[in-house]
Amino acid sequence: MTKVQLQIDLASLPRTVVRVVICVTIDGPDIRRQNFSQVNSCLCAHR
pLDDT in tens, 12-45: 777 767 666 665 655 667 776 776 777 777 677 6
Say whether pLDDT at 46 is over 70: no
Domain-located, residue 5: no
Domain-located, residue 7: no
Residue 6: its pLDDT value, please? 61
User: Which residues lie below 8 Å from residue 36, measured CB to CB, with a gap of 6+?
Assistant: 23, 24
Q: How far apart are CA 33 and CA 46, in angstroms?
A: 20
Domain-located, residue 2: no
Whether the full predicted model's pTM is greater than 0.75, yes or no, is no
Domain-located, residue 19: yes
Let me know: does 29 contact 10? Beta carbons within 8 Å: no
Residue 31: its pLDDT value, please? 72
Residue 14: its pLDDT value, please? 74
Domain-located, residue 3: no
Domain count, the chain: 1
Phi, psi of 2 (to 5 degrees): -90, 145
Domain-located, residue 24: yes
Residue 35 belongs to domain spanning = 14-45
Please give the DSSP secondary-structure letter assigned to residue 47.
Answer: -
Helices and strands (DSSP H and E) totals, the chain? 2, 0
